[in-house]
Structure 1
Amino acid sequence: MCASSRLGSMPIVSFFFRLLQLLFICVPFSLVASEDVLKGDIINWCMSIWCFCFTVSLFIFLVEFCGLQSRLPFSWDGFLYAYAFNFAIVCLTTSIIFGTAHIQFLSPGPTRDRATTATAFSCIVAVLYAIEVAWVYVRPGDISCFVPTLPGMLRRLENIVACLILTINSSRSLYQHQPALEWCVAVYAICFILGAVNFLVNGSDCDNDKKLPIPYPRFLQGQTVLSLLLYASALVLWPLYQFSEKLGGQPQRSSDDSCSDHHTSFICIWDLRLTVTILTAINLLLYVADTAYLAREALVGTQAWQKGL
């Protein structure tokens, strides 16, 4: 079935570009998996990200190689744009976190060389995905729902910040000692998934009102308001349980042993807690701005409807 359409429906440039993505994403995963020293929560998170990127890229390669794009019930160009945009961000974030969290603490030698090479190839993969974003955007195709707008940029920033928060929280020592902190991590995950679904649905088919069980504007409003409320709870609970001594937190950086000058094996946990707090506040502000824009849009729409009567 695939053999009949093979490269006839897949340009040579696209064919080799997909192969590069698949090969380059295999390198960091293989290098880290083969090194027993490179273990831990953050490393396991990075490996799961690379594995997921490889799986989706392989799926896209097979669909294009077999010429099945036209048989899918959504805009293929929109899907490519959405996946490449998100994966460029995810791979870049993973590269930064992996590099800063581990390379600086490794002694010179084969293990450090492997970690450095893995980080470099992860960055290259992020660049390849970013190139694909630009390529899909400029070539002829239907991605009209991706024309840059203020609310669209806000929603992309929301997902970028959520991706950073989740990557940092891949270290379970940040939250596993308190149910309230586990709730916060669940909030970050839920909001990120909802944002990714929104991005993919809007990008895969601009005319999604006819295919979704609810109108897309209602879905967008519900997702934004729910995320706003969830982040508001996280902004209260996360710093309260992380920095209040009465609730088991550490109000001072000096009270965290991982932040002492003589400690050279792990990153400073207290700094990560503070970083997540700041990123939570930033994302809450983004959701407030997004909600305000949606409220203004609904108000203008109501007034226009009344004038139309």
Structure 2
Amino acid sequence: MLLYTDLLLTLFSNTTIPPGAEIDLRSLTQPVGIIRIIAAFLTCTTFSLVAKAGYQTLSYWAWCMFTWCFCFFFTLLIVVLEFTTFNGKLPFSWEDFTAAFAMLASLMCLISSIIYPTFFTCPTCDYQIAASVLSWVCFGLYVGEVVLTRRQPTGQNSGFLSTLSGIMKMLETFLACLIFVSLETKQYSGVPGLQWCVAVYSLCFIFSIAIILLTLGQVTSLSPVSFDKIVVAYNIVATVMYVTAMVIWPLYGFKKSGTRPSNCERYCWWDKLVVVTFMTIFNFVIYTLDTIYSIYLVFFVSNQ
């Protein structure tokens, strides 16, 4: 640890600091800071290996690349902001944001670590195998960050994204992203029932993101109506909408072919229909739990 600290002091001793910023070397030498630096390096290495292996036109390949690039960028951004102490000048709870990002990055790396080796790795694909292994290591690092931030007694983990409601909102948007990755225009083109399902996924995703941003930005108090009650009403509507999608999507999606076609290869349109179906069911469960919990908080806990 002393050698690591001395190296950092040497690297940054001659660095010009912008006005209003201070250096916080301790943010890089703490266990969480070390984990973030390693995670940034490994996510960068992972997407570099995948890019070296070659571009793929499949949407799941794009999702995996987006995951590693997204995690690299925001991990590096968090490291820089904490190192320069600019994080204290941001208009939202920094601890809440970093804890939420670590949980989201863990989920994204977990899914990518399953998808990429499943569809894009072979016994002789050296770059792909190395990228798959590093992706699992990144998942472990982000899980470790979640555990460490949760154990810190000084961490302000009472923010929205660190609560059960915030976690469920992140899960709802995350599962919606997996649905979008699996959607193809030809799946629902010309079928009004399936187009309604796509509208459900899109509208619920947009409103869930809006709720997260408004709460994270601490502007919910500006609402003329109780924001918590607005969220309850939205959760009820979203749950009902997902009920219709959960019924309509498999009903119309598998209408032409109830079983997997014999000419369907390792990765085809039928597999995507299955993924969307299961993600719709999972998201319906999350929305239902979110609705029950929000009703409990607003109409029972707050009235005590």
TM-score range, shorter chain: 0.7 to 0.9
Q: Which residue of 2 aligns with 1:30?
A: 48
TM score, norm. by length of structure 2: 0.77
Q: CA deviation at 1:99?
A: 1.6
Q: Does 1:284 align with 2:284?
A: yes
Q: CA deviation at 1:76?
A: 0.9
The alignment of Structure 1 onto Structure 2 pairs a total of residues equal to 284
Q: CA deviation at 1:252?
A: 2.4
Cα distance change of structure 1 residues 40 and 185 upon mapping to structure 2, 3 Å threshold: same
CA displacement, residues 203-230 of structure 1 (integer Å, 9 cap, x when unaligned): x47x664366864413422442342233
> Which segment drifts farther, 218-227 or 186-195?
186-195
Cα distance change of structure 1 residues 233 and 119 upon mapping to structure 2, 3 Å threshold: same
8 Å contact from structure 1 (residues 26, 54) kept in 2: yes
Q: Select which of 93, 98, 110 maps to 2:116.
A: 98
> Which segment drifts farther, 132-141 or 228-237?
228-237
Cα distance change of structure 1 residues 99 and 178 upon mapping to structure 2, 3 Å threshold: farther
Identity over aligned pairs, percent: 30
8 Å contact from structure 2 (residues 96, 162) kept in 1: no
CA displacement, residues 83-104 of structure 1 (integer Å, 9 cap, x when unaligned): 111111011111111121222x
Q: Which residue of 2 aligns with 1:120?
A: 133
Unaligned residue ranges in structure 1 (runs of 5+) = none
Separation in structure 2 between the aligned mates of residue 74 and residue 197 of structure 1, nearest angstrom: 15
Separation in structure 2 between the aligned mates of residue 227 and residue 162 of structure 1, nearest angstrom: 12
Separation in structure 2 between the aligned mates of residue 65 and residue 197 of structure 1, nearest angstrom: 29
Q: Which amino acid aligns with 2:274?
A: L
Q: CA deviation at 1:48?
A: 1.8
Cα RMSD for the two superposed structures: 3.4
Q: CA deviation at 1:11?
A: 4.1
Q: Does 1:144 align with 2:158?
A: yes
Q: Select which of 100, 111, 114 maps to 1:82.
A: 100
Q: Which residue of 1 aligns with 2:254?
A: 243
Separation in structure 2 between the aligned mates of residue 152 and residue 71 of structure 1, nearest angstrom: 23
Map 1:88-237 → 2, pairs under 5 A: 88-103=106-121, 106=122, 108-109=123-124, 112-139=125-152, 140-145=154-159, 154-155=168-169, 157-159=171-173, 161-167=175-181, 169=182, 172=184, 175=187, 177-178=189-190, 180=192, 181=194, 184-185=197-198, 187-192=200-205, 194-195=207-208, 198-199=211-212, 202=215, 204=216, 209-210=220-221, 215-237=226-248
CA displacement, residues 42-83 of structure 1 (integer Å, 9 cap, x when unaligned): 112211222222222222122112111211111111111011
